[in-house]
Structure 1
Amino acid sequence: MSDRSQQPGPSGGTPEGPAWSGREGAQAFAAVEAATDWLLGYPFVLRELAGRIGAGQVLVDYGCGPGRVADHAARVLGARVLGADTSPQMLELARASATAVAGFHLVENGRVTGLPDGCADAVMCNHVLASLPTQDALLGVFTEIRRLLRPHAPFVLLTTDPACSGTEYASLRIGEPGEAYAPGEEVTVRLRRTDGTWQRMRNHAWPVGLYPVLLERARFRDVVQHRPSVQEVLTVAAPDLVAARPWSAERARPPLVVTTAVAA
């Protein structure tokens, strides 16, 4: 997954501290299962990209974390995938395991180092925005992604919906049952590890309806949002994953939203 890389200042693993920071945080992130994301998230991100980017073109994964999604995208799409993250430790993990990725770049002071303006034919950004504390920080990420994209190139964004708080999905729970969260309010998210235990982390609740407004301010157009459902997954997700669980919560209240936009 990208994986739920935290920007800026990736993190550690308790609700009291920042998420996925340092070597220990990167290793904790690598142990996250992310079954719900692989069912209702990443396959739909790649479906959007498949119709918009050709083999050999440049796809930047902004917030690539340990590189699992970037590696998968490179193999599925045939694109030249570049990973970018604020955490050197995440990038170290990615370099060791994401062998299909063409290169990795550190994000410093809000800018992807080593990548010039208009270098990307597409950008994806998965589970990054919930770590950001202010609307200005969200806008800063969108502005940097717009800098990377050539005109008319696509941007695909994957986020959780904090309005789905309290529901326990196969691999995550956002906030507490019965709670409603104001925009930017801190919320504790639980992520299931591969050993069946739960990782707790601190996020921020950004309503998905805010993203189109900020994207337009960052010089994007043609913004469209889609909430993938279990009914759609047979055409995109791995069959063994679909058959592995009943996905009851995901069927009742899908928690992920894919937002697409085009660089103006």
Structure 2
Amino acid sequence: MSDWSGQEGARAFAAVEAATDWLLGYPFVFRALSRRLGPDGVLVDYGCGPGKVAAHAAGLLGVRVLGVDTSPEMLALARTSATAVAEYHLVEHGRVTGLPDACADAVMCNHVLASLPTEEAVLAVFAEIHRLLRPGAPLVLLTTDPACTRLEYASTRIGEPGAAYGPGDPLTVRLRRTDGTWQEVRNHAWPAGHLPPLLTRAGFRAVTQHRPTVDEALPLATPALARSHTWQAERAEPPLLVTTALRTADPF
């Protein structure tokens, strides 16, 4: 079972297929960002991993993208493979090195909360994102709903079938690799309804949540991705949630 640490974890993460995310997640993150980012904007990808999503955002949105991550190994992999990203910065002791306050016009944060075991850890990440954003700028979060345990999705299986998970509870997620095999990952559950109050506590406002559907997604998908799976489980119970919030004054 992986936690994505070290060089082996970074390589394993880069080999995840993520078909469900590329259908129901990332296109809607990019759409939310495009509504608020101009061509000269600065976008921070908080938890960029190997940089694939950050590089795609740079090409699609035409903005300056800065990738940040807690893993030096992830950043090393990203620097060699995701050259469309302008800069990479390491998160040390909860703070992004080399980036000043209010430097970002937007932040995206994809599947980072799943690695955080406590409410305090989530609030600390939100506080650092708040520091990076200029006033009024958006944070766009992509998370997996830990309530969606009944079905096997195209590229993931969430927890144990029928199990119920509370905030921070450990759960195992299975992810399909590009070679068709499956990998188990240690995650933590953050139910959808628990996120808006935490964002408000961290100094964000205008929190909205959107659960993308297959019917919404297929017109946005590449033909190859649309044909790659039947998407039956995704149609029955969409498992991804896009949460958007705006940075306000300092947290309470």
What TM-score do the two structures reach when normalised by structure 2?
A: 0.97
Report the Cα distance in structure 2 between the residues aligned to 1:262 and 1:251, rounded to whole angstroms. 30
Instruction: Give the CA deviation at 1:244.
Output: 2.0
Aligned to 2:173: 189
1:92 aligned onto 2:76: yes
The CA distance in 1 between the partners of 2:226 and 2:202, in whole Å, is 37
Please, which of 198, 203, 219 is the counterpart of residue 235 of structure 1?
219
CA distance in 1: counterparts of 2:34 and 2:189, whole angstroms: 30
Give the equivalent residue in structure 2 for 1:9: none
CA contact (8 A) 1:44 1:236 kept: no
RMSD across aligned C-alpha pairs, in angstroms? 0.8
- Determine the structure 2 residue equivalent to 1:164: 148
Of the structure 1 ranges 47-56 and 238-247, higher mean CA displacement relative to structure 2 is found in: 238-247
1:38 equivalent in alignment to 2:22: yes
2:199 to 215, 221, 237: 215
State how 1:108-257 maps to structure 2 within 5 Å: 108-257=92-241
Q: Distance in 1 between matches of 2:223 and 2:216?
A: 12
Counterpart residue number, 2:13: 29
CA distance in 1, matches of 2:167, 2:67: 29
Query: 24, 34, 38: which is aligned to 1:50?
Result: 34
* Equivalent in the alignment of 1:79: 63
Using the aligned pairs only, state the percent identity: 71
Q: Secondary structure at the match of 1:33?
A: coil
What 5-or-longer segments of structure 2 have no aligned partner? Answer: none
Residue aligned with 1:100, SS:
coil
TM-score (norm 1): 0.92
Query: 2:23–2:218: 8 Å Cα contact kept in structure 1?
Result: no
- Residue 57 of structure 1 deviates from its aligned partner by 1.1
Count of equivalent residues: 248
Does the 8 Å contact 1:47/1:236 carry over to 2?
A: no
Contact in 2 for aligned 1:142/1:215 (Cα 8 Å): yes
* Structure 1 CA distance for aligned equivalents of residues 135 and 149 of structure 2: 37
Answer yes or no: is the 8 Å Cα contact 2:48–2:68 preserved in 1: yes
Aligned 8 A contact 1:122 1:155 in 2: yes
Quote the offset at 1:242 in angstroms: 1.2
State the alpha-carbon separation in 2 of the partners of residues 216 and 228 from structure 1: 23
| Amino acid of the structure 2 residue aligned with 1:240 | A
- Alpha-carbon distance between aligned partners in 2 of 1:45 and 1:77, rounded to the nearest angstrom: 11
Aligned equivalents of 2:63 and 2:202: distance in 1? 25
- In 1, the alpha carbon distance for the partners of 2:65 and 2:77 equals 16
In the alignment, the residues of structure 1 paired with residue 37 and residue 78 of structure 2 have an alpha-carbon distance, to the nearest angstrom, of 23
